[in-house]
Structure 1
Amino acid sequence: MKTARKCPKITVAAAALVPLSLTACGGSASSGTGSLTVQDYYQPSHDAIYKACAKSVGVEVKINHLPGAGLISKVLQQSSSRTLPDVLMLDNPDVQQIAASGALSPLTDYGLNGEGMVPAVVKAGTYEGKLYGLAPAVNTISVFYNQDMFEAAGISAPPKTWDELRAAAKKLTQGDRYGFAMSNINTYEGSWQFLPFMWSNGGTEENLATPETAQALQFLVDLQNDGSISKSSVNWGQGDVVNQFVAGKAAMAVNGPWVIPQLEKEKSLKWAAFTIPTRLASQTTVAPLGGELYTVPRTGDKTRMGKAGQFVKCLTSPEKQLESAKIEQTIPSTLTVAAEFGKSNEVIAPFVTAVKTARSRTAILGPDWPKAATKIYTAVQAALTGKAAPAEALQQAQNQQ
């Protein structure tokens, strides 16, 4: 009989500095193979899916819902105390960071390869050529618009280019109503909303100080100078933006499909959505990929890890993708399933289109993405508050260490 290798005790603070491969060598908190522990930051709305997959795998499931804000520090703590869950859900930009630490096992060990899925999903879950996470459903951002306001302004169709968007926003700006609203707050949320304008125009986080990114930032400055975007956008989160839209204070609003349930409650509000316009009609919208990926941590128990792999395989099956998408108002990760879902749901269709060409935030810089995100929102804030011209703001941000 082989004896288990002992792990050294490491404090949470120290764990943040030590590769998780050194600490993720113990077993999961629960013993035996009769049950699996799933950890996420969802509401209990997904519990029925978890229980169905557990039944198909032949185990019971213990579900642990945690606040998303403290998830990474919790994972570090669990790793040092050898209490990692059997199935761990992570926000997609965090997967590469945790995979790099050695805490996750490759999903290919369990017969998963992401075939047929949105390319950005596979990219987000891949680190150094190995697949560590997959998502049942994903999201991105598009533009919601008030159809009554469009009709009153004589705008017959949603804009497809920046020039058309700027012209429409000017027409729609009246009194205390802004033609266009988006979050430009100094957090990752602000960076997330700027990405479609930067990426679609050929800009990249590898070097922010390029003419392409400067054009994107200048476009937002121009909208603000026109009076079409509120100067308060530098303080607005995405929740504030949708509230402005619902209140009739914004005719167009950049947001994600997760706000659809809120909009559907407003029976007097006639709305629809369209894909974020590009500078040129010949360009393709490249929006950021949102959503959570499921992973199988290295708990040290191969039998349990095998069951966990089967569980993730069930979660990412076409049937469960559709169930998850309907619960969260998101997009199935498999392209064919997403296409069918879009055909049956006009509201979701623009998001399905955007997801096809979406990009994961870690696609270029991998685990270093957070540094770039900070630089992006810093530059956006500097330009919109008049502290620096777009090109200068981007150069200053790029020079940040």
Structure 2
Amino acid sequence: MHASRHTLIALAIASVAVVTSGCTGSSPSTDPVATTVAPTEKVTITFWHGWSQPSEVKAIADNIAAFQKLHPNITVKTVPNVADDKILQGIRGGNGPDVVSSFTTDNVGMFCNGALMDLNPWLAKSGVDKNSVFLKPMVEYTQYQGKQCTLPLLGDAYGMYYNKAMFAAAGISAPPRTWSEFKADAVKLTKQSGASYSQLGFMPTFHGYENAIAHWVSQSGPTYFSADGKANIDKDPAFADFLTMQKDLVDSLGGFARLEKYRNGFGEEFSPQNAFEAGKVAMQIDGEWRTVSIRDDGVKLDWATAPLPVPDDQAASYGRGYVSGTVVGIPANSKHAAAAWEFVKYLTTDTTALVTFANAIHNVPSTHAAMSSPDLDKDAQFATFLQIAQNEQSNTTPASPNGGQYQTILQDFTYKWESGQAKDLTSGLADVDQQIDKANAQAKG
């Protein structure tokens, strides 16, 4: 689940066309928000979701069973392990489900362009104030241009994992809070071994596991787009400042070629051979799921978690982080919209359902009520991510009309930058903005 959620995904051109063409199948003839489901009315709705691991499928099945106990007239039929392109194809063909979920928040902009209903009227009808119910970053990544076409269903927060034994051996008493402290610690924790390393303080290259620039630069509170929707990466100093810092860290730790050679010996990310679990790195960017992976993998490791460091001139913002997660919506041509809304409302706002689900799959809850529930598992290391998700300065990447293509364009440039292929940062970021504006204009038609 996590690999598909956190990789920047560009959907196939055919899938993009599904939404941008506005071809979403036949819509109900009446206003769906005006409809209701009588307690005696028997309704069967279909739910397509992406969970595939047995524990995840069981967790969602348990929630469905609890919902059906509350609504015995509504039967929910599920289809697991469904990707976004299949969802969009089903909606276009008029044989899609009544409720869908997606791990890819980058695609919300596409979903909001006609494929899924705007849920704002449903929220208003049910008296749900989204801004007080849900965590702020999660409201942001579930809407696009005023359309709340999805709602958050649990989330992920990014922070730092660090090896306490390595820190103690290096005489470091606490995790770094600022970029300068981060660099100093990474260098101090690095042990050279010939042309390689016996221990690396931190793997700074962008191909490393969860090292996407979006996860890092969030610590600077970046603004990707201006008020008029134009790319703002060249104009916001957060990006240039971060990339300058990152390149300096690459050089300080031995250079791109040496680091990449070492990284190529890392084990698979979601395995006990993960570089952090294997003791190859002292610090690592990762999400809340790693807390459970370390336990389940049976790795003997003295470790802890903390927020990622922030720029020196933003030290007061320490504690923020990048937030993402699963989204849920109702296809625009759902034949049972009222029943579908009852199910979506239950999944996304019922505190017991959210806490039970969060405890089962070890994700961050998406509502304030679930966050404060005494039934939520809150061990010390997992609590770090709960705090990051609730931090008012935590942020996410904004939705776009083309599946987050702007992130792919920026990421491609960062690979050239860190390797030394791109020499001029200013002109490089200006070119990134031009490419993004061109891609967005094409997507909008």
TM range (shorter): 0.7 to 0.9
Structure 1 residues 161 and 377: alpha-carbon distance in aligned structure 2, compared to 1, 3 A threshold: same
1-side partners of 2:153 and 2:354: how far apart?
5
2:238 pairs with 1:212? yes
The equivalent residue for 1:247 is 278
2:222 pairs with 1:203? yes
- Kept after mapping to 2: 8 A contact 1:182/1:238: no
Q: Report the CA distance between 1:298 and its aligned residue.
A: 2.5
2:362 pairs with 1:326? no
2:46 pairs with 1:37? yes
Which secondary structure does the structure 2 equivalent of 1:243 belong to? coil
- One-letter amino acid matched to 1:255: D
- One-letter amino acid matched to 1:388: A
- Kept after mapping to 2: 8 A contact 1:120/1:359: yes
- Kept after mapping to 1: 8 A contact 2:117/2:329: yes
Gaps of 5+ in 1: 1-10
The equivalent residue for 1:258 is 289
Q: Report the CA distance between 1:149 and its aligned residue.
A: 0.8
- Kept after mapping to 1: 8 A contact 2:162/2:283: yes
1-side partners of 2:322 and 2:26: how far apart?
31
Structure 1 residues 15 and 283: alpha-carbon distance in aligned structure 2, compared to 1, 3 A threshold: closer
The equivalent residue for 2:203 is 181
Q: Report the CA distance between 1:232 and its aligned residue.
A: 5.2
2:137 pairs with 1:120? yes
Which secondary structure does the structure 2 equivalent of 1:359 belong to? coil
Structure 1 residues 84 and 360: alpha-carbon distance in aligned structure 2, compared to 1, 3 A threshold: farther
Deviations 1:228-260, CA, capped at 9 Å, x for gaps = 782359878955997111111100010111222
Gaps of 5+ in 2: 1-13, 30-40, 226-231, 439-445
- Identify which of 113, 116, 121 aligns with 1:100: 113
The equivalent residue for 1:74 is 86
- One-letter amino acid matched to 2:396: S
Q: Report the CA distance between 1:95 and its aligned residue.
A: 2.3
2-side partners of 1:243 and 1:343: how far apart?
25
- Kept after mapping to 2: 8 A contact 1:26/1:300: yes
- Identify which of 124, 133, 136 aligns with 2:153: 136
- Kept after mapping to 1: 8 A contact 2:111/2:149: no
Q: Report the CA distance between 1:349 and its aligned residue.
A: 1.8
Q: How does 1:4-19 map to 2 (within 5 A)?
A: 15=18, 17-19=20-22
Deviations 1:78-111, CA, capped at 9 Å, x for gaps = 1232112111102333223112124324254262
- Kept after mapping to 1: 8 A contact 2:172/2:185: yes
Which secondary structure does the structure 1 equivalent of 2:151 belong to? coil
- Identify which of 46, 51, 75 aligns with 1:60: 75
- One-letter amino acid matched to 1:209: D
- Identify which of 245, 248, 251 aligns with 1:225: 251
- Kept after mapping to 1: 8 A contact 2:347/2:353: yes
1-side partners of 2:247 and 2:273: how far apart?
21
- One-letter amino acid matched to 2:329: T
- Kept after mapping to 2: 8 A contact 1:184/1:234: no
The equivalent residue for 1:269 is 301
- Kept after mapping to 2: 8 A contact 1:181/1:241: no
The equivalent residue for 1:4 is none
Structure 1 residues 124 and 380: alpha-carbon distance in aligned structure 2, compared to 1, 3 A threshold: same
2-side partners of 1:274 and 1:380: how far apart?
25
Deviation larger for 163-172 or 108-117:
108-117
- Identify which of 47, 50, 53 aligns with 2:64: 50
Structure 1 residues 232 and 299: alpha-carbon distance in aligned structure 2, compared to 1, 3 A threshold: farther
The equivalent residue for 1:393 is 428
TM-score (normalised: structure 1)? 0.83
- One-letter amino acid matched to 1:378: D
- Kept after mapping to 2: 8 A contact 1:332/1:338: yes
2-side partners of 1:242 and 1:182: how far apart?
19
- Kept after mapping to 2: 8 A contact 1:196/1:286: no
- Kept after mapping to 2: 8 A contact 1:140/1:289: yes
- Kept after mapping to 2: 8 A contact 1:57/1:311: no
Q: Report the CA distance between 1:12 and its aligned residue.
A: 7.2
The equivalent residue for 1:8 is none
The equivalent residue for 2:164 is 147
Structure 1 residues 14 and 244: alpha-carbon distance in aligned structure 2, compared to 1, 3 A threshold: closer
1-side partners of 2:261 and 2:272: how far apart?
10
Structure 1 residues 87 and 340: alpha-carbon distance in aligned structure 2, compared to 1, 3 A threshold: same
- Kept after mapping to 2: 8 A contact 1:198/1:204: no
Q: CA RMSD in A?
A: 3.0
2-side partners of 1:118 and 1:146: how far apart?
30
2-side partners of 1:16 and 1:197: how far apart?
30
The equivalent residue for 1:194 is 213
2:339 pairs with 1:307? yes
Count of paired positions:
376
- One-letter amino acid matched to 1:227: L
Structure 1 residues 186 and 358: alpha-carbon distance in aligned structure 2, compared to 1, 3 A threshold: same
1-side partners of 2:99 and 2:75: how far apart?
13
Structure 1 residues 24 and 287: alpha-carbon distance in aligned structure 2, compared to 1, 3 A threshold: farther
